């Protein structure tokens, strides 16, 4: 046992000696200026400048994009300049690495001198942000909102919606925290898609890739901006939270899309779509909604409307806890039907029957009582009171 301990200590000393940096070299590294400039859709240019007393033989750039497990390494170009001054740069083309829009890029430099000494410059970071716009910024707590235009209150409106959405999702999803959170509000859908395509991305299934780690939404009309954001922010945040909970999970379509719509609140048009399909006996089977949605626009809209309606039925009968438990089970990789059986003790067929029963229209007399019950009670009570008075 002693021999193993001595061997480990020896290895540690060798490694420590080999990677040690002298105080002089460290001071030189801290005196250097490291910066980067983004040209969105093209790449990032990195610069290292400042005084250095030793003769530099090589400068290497190391960078990590997002959560990539391995750094990208490249040899920098050294520019001729005044004696004792270092000027090095490297231009990273977008095609060289996977460079998603709004990704955080961490980078550092390693300088090799003629004397065989190696010096590492302290790490810095930059965001591969869409620089086609002059972004306004509101940063409060762990949420930063970016937007364009002259509406000074749009950032605060979006921030408030984020907070409300978090509370809603805390109630119906397994616990997690997307923090810090960056929200970018584009002035049009065209601008958003153009920015994504410049970075090799696009909108898929009505939302951006949650792997980006940010919320990308639009507010086209200043008059309706708040209403737009009340729909888009909860929807995008739902996909982001589900992805963060388990990035590789393949969730039933009806559950993931339904939860995203449920978090955004009621939609009268979707409710009407479901009511019409039920009345005409044209609803889609739940088994189909487990694995995929129809490609035809009308059928796809019905699939979305049915999905959120199914979740509302589960919520009404079993509560928010059932939605959270269902999410946990599906995120663990459980199949569509097994998840329902384990959570609700119901099969796909049972849930479909229960859901259809809940959608069935009420008899006319029951609807009348529901809408006018209070007035009828007051009228009956008044007649009863009048009868008592007359008897006296």
- Mean per-residue pLDDT, 219-229: 92
Kindly give the pairing relationship between strand 85-93 and strand 104-113: unpaired
For the segment 76-82, the average pLDDT, to the nearest whole number, is 88
- Grade residue 208 by pLDDT with cuts at 50, 70 and 90: confident
Q: Is the pLDDT of residue 368 over 70?
A: no
Q: What is the pLDDT of residues 45-54, one digit of tens each?
A: 999 999 988 8
Cβ neighbour number for residue 26 with a 10 Å cutoff: 14
Residue spans of alpha helices (H) in the chain? 2-19, 23-31, 154-172, 189-198, 225-245, 253-263, 268-279, 286-291, 297-318, 320-331, 336-344, 348-359, 364-391
* pLDDT for the residue 388: 65
Q: How far is CA 296 from the centre of its chain?
A: 27
pLDDT of residue 369: 52
The reported pLDDT for the residue numbered 333 is 94
What domains lie within the chain, and their CATH numbers? 20-127 (2.60.40.2440), 130-245 (3.40.30.160), 249-362 (no CATH)
| Cα-Cα-Cα-Cα dihedral sign, residues 222, 226, 227, 233 | positive
Answer whether residue 3 shows pLDDT above 70.
no
pLDDT in tens, 281-310: 999 999 999 988 898 999 999 999 999 999
What are the Cα distances from residue 218, in Å, to 133, 177, 186, 267?
A: 14, 23, 5, 19
DSSP 262-320: HHT---HHHHHHHHHHHHTT-PPPHHHHHH---SSHHHHHHHHHHHHHHHHHHHHHH-H
In this prediction, residues 353-369 reach a mean pLDDT of: 69
What is the model's pLDDT at position 281? Answer: 93
pLDDT band, residue 384 (cuts 50/70/90): low
Q: Are 140 and 157 in contact (CB under 8 A)?
A: no
pLDDT over 90 (residue 125): yes
Highest mean pLDDT (candidates 31-40, 65-74, 111-120, 380-389):
31-40
Confidence of residue 21 (pLDDT cuts 50, 70, 90): very low
């Amino acid at each position: 046992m002693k021999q193993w301990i001595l061997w480990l200590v020896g290895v540690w000393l060798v490694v420590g000696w080999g990677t040690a940096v002298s105080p002089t070299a460290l001071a030189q590294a801290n005196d250097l200026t490291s910066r980067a400039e983004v040209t969105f859709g093209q790449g990032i240019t990195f610069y290292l400048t400042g005084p250095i007393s030793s003769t530099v033989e090589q400068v290497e750039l190391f960078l990590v994009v997002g959560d990539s497990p391995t750094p990208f390494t490249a040899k920098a170009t050294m520019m001729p300049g005044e004696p004792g001054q270092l000027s090095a740069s490297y231009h990273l083309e977008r095609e060289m690495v996977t460079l998603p829009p709004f990704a955080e890029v961490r980078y550092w430099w390693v300088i090799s001198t003629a004397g065989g000494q190696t010096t590492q410059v302290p790490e810095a970071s930059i965001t591969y942000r869409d620089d086609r716009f002059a972004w306004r910024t509101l940063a409060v707590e762990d949420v930063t909102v970016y937007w364009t235009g002259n509406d000074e209150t749009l950032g605060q409106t979006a921030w408030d919606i984020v907070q409300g959405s978090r509370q809603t999702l805390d109630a119906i999803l397994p616990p997690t925290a997307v923090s810090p959170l960056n929200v970018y509000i584009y002035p049009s859908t065209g601008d958003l898609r153009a920015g994504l395509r410049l970075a090799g991305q696009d909108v898929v299934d009505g939302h951006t890739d949650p792997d980006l780690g940010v919320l990308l939404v639009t507010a086209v009309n200043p008059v309706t901006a708040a209403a737009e954001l009340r729909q888009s922010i909860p929807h995008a945040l739902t996909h982001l939270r589900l992805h963060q909970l388990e990035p590789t999970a393949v969730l039933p379509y009806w559950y993931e899309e339904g939860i995203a719509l449920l978090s955004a609140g009621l939609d009268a048009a979707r409710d009407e779509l479901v009511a019409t399909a039920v009345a005409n006996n044209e609803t889609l089977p739940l088994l189909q909604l487990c694995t995929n949605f129809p490609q035809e626009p009308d059928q796809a809209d019905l699939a979305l409307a049915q999905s959120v309606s199914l979740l509302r039925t589960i919520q009404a009968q079993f509560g928010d806890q059932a939605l959270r438990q269902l999410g946990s089970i599906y995120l663990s990789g459980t199949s569509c039907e097994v998840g329902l059986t384990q959570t609700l003790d119901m099969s796909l067929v049972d849930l479909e029957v229960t859901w259809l029963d809940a959608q069935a229209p009420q008899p006319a007399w029951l609807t009348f009582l529901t809408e006018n019950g209070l007035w009828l009670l007051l009228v009956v009570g008044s007649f009863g009171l009048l009868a008592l008075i007359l008897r006296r």
